[in-house]
Amino acid sequence: MCDCSSTEQFWQQVDDAHARVLVTSAINAARAQVEYSRAFTTAQRVTVLLGSNASREYEAKAEMYHRTRNLQLQNTKQAFAEFAAGLDEAGKQRFTELLKAGGLKDFTTHARQSTVLALLHEDLTPNVAQNAVNALDGTLGKVAGLTSWQEMGDYFNQHLDELQAQKVAEATSVNGLCLLILILTSIYVILILIAVLACLFSSDRECTNRILNDELAQVCGS
């Protein structure tokens, strides 16, 4: 059963930041990534067990979700351009000042703690857990190291382009755990940056943590 009050607060914060299209596109891209990864992994397993003919249904599903993922990533990039165009220079300067003051360090520290705690209770092999932590630390390290609005925007757009450039067979195949898929396929960084953007003008110090958690709930289910 969903926490409807929490969902309403989430979308209210998103609307206050004029970021609904941006957030919606990113969530849809993340959902498609999860479904793609699961279908692709199933197709590989069926091929091994039953032969390539038996896996065609799952390969078709994987290709469909991959196309949906790329379409939503394109929508996310366009929505970010519109979001940036609507932000005046004072807003961009405020963002830069936040970054230079190390304003994201507390957020990334908390995000790491909560993510690791979530993974701790999942049935992961030590190798998979290590890969997830390495990917997570790489992502959060890049976010914490951003120093200006321009640098963040360039990184955001470059990352979206790199994700869209992936071919079907190049995308990472992992087990079906939603959070693990988001981390290892690096879609997670998009959700992290959008949480920051949605809380740019919020006075609530817990806003970014709450928005990220709500995004994950929208993608993976509560």
Q: For residue 1, is it within any domain?
A: no
No. of H helices and E strands in the chain?
A: 10, 0
Q: Around 132, how many Cα atoms within 13 Å sit in the side-chain half-sphere?
A: 26
Q: Number of folded domains in the chain?
A: 1
**3-state helix, strand and coil shares in percent for the chain, rounded to the nearest 5:** 80, 0, 20
Output the pLDDT for position 2.
46
Tell me the residue range of the domain where 33 lies. Answer: 8-220
pTM exceeding 0.85: yes
Q: For residue 213, is it within any domain?
A: yes
Q: For residue 3, is it within any domain?
A: no
Q: Is the dihedral of CA 179, 184, 185, 190 positive or negative?
A: positive
Residue among 50, 187, 28 nearest 58 (CA)? 50
Output the pLDDT for position 30.
96
Q: For residue 2, is it within any domain?
A: no
Sole residue written with tokens 């932000």? 87
> What's the CA gap between 69 and 26, in Å, rounded?
9
pLDDT tens, per residue, the chain with 222 residues: 445 557 888 989 898 888 999 999 999 999 999 999 999 988 888 999 998 888 899 899 989 999 999 999 999 999 999 999 998 888 888 888 888 887 788 889 999 999 999 999 888 889 989 999 999 999 999 998 898 999 999 999 999 999 998 876 655 556 678 999 999 989 999 999 999 999 887 878 789 999 999 999 999 985
